[in-house]
Homo-oligomer: A and B are copies of this chain.
Amino acid sequence: MSEIIGFIGTGMMGEPMARNLLRAGFRLKVYNRTKEKARALAAEGAEIVDTPAQAAVDGGIVVTMLANDQAVEEAAFGPRGFAPALGKGLHLSMSTIAPATAARLAERHRTQGGAYVAAPVFGPPPAAAAKKLWICTSGDEAAKTRAKPILDALGQGIFDFGEEPGAANVVKLAGNFLIMSAMEALAEAFALAEKNGVAPAALANMLGQTLFNCTVYHTYGRFIAERNYDPPRFRLDLGLKDASLVLDAARAARTPMPFAALIQQRILSGLAKGRGGLDWSAMALGAREDAGLG
Contacts and interface: CB of A to CB of B under 8 A. Distances in A.
Interface string A197-211: 110001101110111
B211 A254 contact: no
Contacts of A286: 290
A196 B268 contact: no
Nearest to A168: B198
A264 B251 contact: yes
B197 A164 contact: yes
Interface in A116-173: 122, 134, 136, 157, 159, 161-162, 164, 166-167, 170-171, 173
B256 A290 contact: yes
Interface stretch (A10-18, A104-112, A213-221): A213-221
Given A185-B182, A189-B178, A211-B215, A99 B287 contact: no
Interface stretch (A39-47, A54-62, A81-89, A269-277): A269-277
A252 to B, nearest CB: 9
Interface of A: 99, 122, 134, 136, 157, 159, 161-162, 164, 166-167, 170-171, 173-175, 177-179, 181-182, 184-186, 188-189, 191-193, 195-198, 202-203, 205-207, 209-217, 240, 244, 246, 249-251, 253-262, 264-266, 268-269, 271-274, 286-287, 289-292
Nearest to A243: B251
Instruction: Name, among A211, A244, A291, the residue most crowded by chain B CB atoms within 10 Å (CB to CB).
Output: A211
Contacts of A202: 159, 161
Given A171-B193, A181-B185, A254-B291, A159 B259 contact: no
B189 A174 contact: yes
Contacts of A258: 188, 258, 261-262, 265
Contacts of A213: 214-215
Contact of A262 (B166, B255, B259): B259
Given A170-B196, A203-B171, A211 B256 contact: no
Q: Which 6 A-B pairs have CB atoms at the shortest separation, nearest pair first?
A: A272-B292, A214-B214, A181-B185, A256-B265, A261-B261, A254-B272
